A and B are shown apart, each in its own frame.
Chain A
Amino acid sequence: MGDIAYYAVFCVSVLAASVSQLLLKQSALTPRESLAREYFNFRSLAAYALFFVSTLLTVWAYRGVPLSAGAMLEATGYVYVACFSRFVLREPITRRSLAGLALILLGILVYVA
């Protein structure tokens, strides 16, 4: 199964990308006075910086993670986003979505175990 640290870093990189998405979403929900302000505000800039860090972490993690596993690990993003939606944005979550999240995690376990 290779080095678990590389897998962990990959998951952190996906988490960083997901937080970046959340920041962009929050930024998009805030009305701005100009187009320039829509890009140059704290949340947007932090989101882009975080996304950049995420890509560097991904490349580092790929030293120990096979490409085929990477594509699957990216699916953990759905788990993070679901947690943000539920607990930060207070959006409802369906049973179907919950089952899907469980399937993603189980699938990854089956793959790496």
Chain B
Amino acid sequence: MKKAPINTANTKEAKIPAANKAKARRLAALHALFALYSAAGILSKLAAGRAFMSGPFLLFYGGALAVLFVYALIWQQMLKGIALSVAYSSKAVTVAWGLLWGALLFKEDVTPKKLLGAAMAAAGVFCVTTGAKAARYKDGRNSPAREG
């Protein structure tokens, strides 16, 4: 008896959008985490404007430490589902968060020169983090498949 042919093409096609969706969700979560991380900068900056060890100082500084602690916990969990190189290179976005919060909350001026410098630094972070990935492959200790 002839077996009914299994349509592998269809099942594969069905799997790809689901995988992409999960990937997009993880990336969105990663960027939400970086937004949270930028709050630590805001709180540190707020603490800097207060008298050392005063009530408001302790509130803002304690808040910054709490944000960093929560960030570290979530970051470690997030690395399970996202390639290290992707996670690290995406961190370049925190430079943009700093510019945004600085301008919005602390009235820092954003000049074309500052934007250029920030863009260069962010591009630099991207190159360093993706360059490290290339070094690991060359080393033969990791294969691209494991980074998936």
A contact residues vs B (CB 8 Å cutoff):
55, 58-63, 66-72, 74-75, 78, 82, 91-113
Contact = CB atoms under 8 A, between A and B. Distances in A.
Nearest to A103: B124
Interface in B13-66: 38, 41-42, 44-45, 47-49, 61, 64-65
B121 A58 contact: no
A69 B109 CA distance: 11
Given A75-B125, A94-B131, A110 B117 contact: yes
A75 B126 CA distance: 11
A74 to B, nearest CB: 7
Interface of B: 38, 41-42, 44-45, 47-49, 61, 64-65, 68, 94-95, 97-99, 101-103, 105-106, 108, 110, 113-114, 116-132, 134-135, 138-139
22 contacts: A55-B64, A58-B44, A59-B44, A62-B45, A62-B47, A62-B48, A67-B41, A67-B45, A68-B118, A71-B118, A75-B122, A91-B139, A93-B131, A96-B134, A97-B127, A100-B123, A100-B125, A100-B131, A101-B128, A104-B124, A109-B117, A111-B117
A72 B42 CA distance: 14
B44 A111 contact: no
B38 A71 contact: yes
**Chain A interface mostly:** helix
A68 B124 contact: no
A7 B121 CA distance: 16
Contacts of B116: 107, 110
Nearest to B125: A75
Nearest to B121: A107
A66 B102 contact: yes
B127 A72 contact: no
A74 B95 CA distance: 9
B125 A71 contact: no
Contacts of B114: 68, 111
A94 B102 CA distance: 34
